[in-house]
Amino acid sequence: MTNQFDLTGEQREIQELARRFTADAITPHAAEWDDKHIFPRDTIRAAAELGFGGIYVSEASGGIGLGRLEAALIMEAMAYGCPSTSAFISIHNMGAWMIDRFGSQAVKDKYLPDLVPMNRMASYCLTEAGSGSDAAALKTRAVRDGDHYVVTGSKQFISGGGENDIYVTMVRTGGEGPKGISCLIIEKDMEGVSFGAQERKLGWHSQPTAQVNFDGVRVPLENLVGAEGEGFRIAMMGLDGGRLNIGACSLGGAQRCIDESLRYTKERQQFGQAIAGFQNTQFTLADMQTELEAARMLLYAAAVKVTENAPDKTRFAAMAKRLATDTGSAVADRALQLHGGYGYLMDYPVERFWRDLRVHSILEGTNQVMRMIVARDMLKQ
């Protein structure tokens, strides 16, 4: 018997597949990737062999055509080993989905056969130095010239910047505001594309992040995704799924922190007993797990709404992202406290999760912007 709050048998199989892959290919190596700033390209390609490079790309386009709940389960499972690597795969999936969902057949045929197996990897380029939360104010401009657009501008904080091959880029083809924005696919080796130095980050050390610069880049008209002026809508629809995935990465990372804390507090002795025996420790662990389960339930519910294109999907994605990422950081922080001085050492994994999960409340829309989205939707009623 299953009820509406249970995963189906197929969903459990997908979850178990992702967990096994993580245990074998990610968890044993994640600390080294973090310490040495290694981008684990081969491991990421191995994930794509399981279909994780095109999770919600349609089967007709070579993907595995799953829903957003299945995607969240995969991201959560992989983040148990390394949130940074899981999030990188999520961003690639967002780019591939946007091409599959809104691109012409010619664009799909040109890019998806390489993107689904992650022979080429995709970045999502929206944020600029002067437009983060105010994304509709972006300045990167694309001007038509014959059968090309000429693109000039730059994008900031781009995951995969300098390493990835495909940049799904929001550009201004019209006037000010969201209706003047279009979506173009720009390739790494097009003339005029260059990259800033790799950013030195608090966490997310297993993935490259850099500024992407466009200096008069000539992009074929056929690389337009959707119609002119639809770019902002496409970008926001991509973010509904991206927010679920980044929330799921927080769930997976936080669950790992709880499990590490259980192990540590059972072993660590103080005042003549294991610190797990103290009521204060037990209350802390109970609150960590309770709050995480609440965030997980909301995220799974939001994922179903996005899959089903429910009218309140954006509100639920924003609520779920806000709660899951804030809860993830709070759980990691308490896990570090339970480890005491050892939690501050790189010999134990909780400090890495503490660093990696912190950025989740900033990217894919800050958690302050999530509150704005939710409140505006409430006030419309």
Nearest to 325 by CA among 301, 298, 287, 348: 298
Half-sphere exposure of 40 (CA within 13 A, CB side): 30
Q: How far is CA 353 from the centre of its chain?
A: 15
- The Cα–Cα gap between 297 and 320 comes to 9
Q: How far is CA 130 from CA 139, 155, 179, 217, in A?
A: 8, 9, 19, 21
Catalytic option among 76, 163, 260, 364: 364
Name the H helices within 268-360.
279-307, 313-338, 350-358
Do 338 and 264 form a contact (C-beta atoms < 8 A)? Answer: yes
Do 337 and 260 form a contact (C-beta atoms < 8 A)? Answer: no
- The Cα–Cα gap between 350 and 189 comes to 39
Handedness of CA 334, 326, 96, 217 (dihedral sign): negative
- The Cα–Cα gap between 73 and 55 comes to 11
Q: Write down the number of H helices and E strands in the chain.
A: 11, 10
- Whether 364 is catalytic is yes
Active site residues: 364
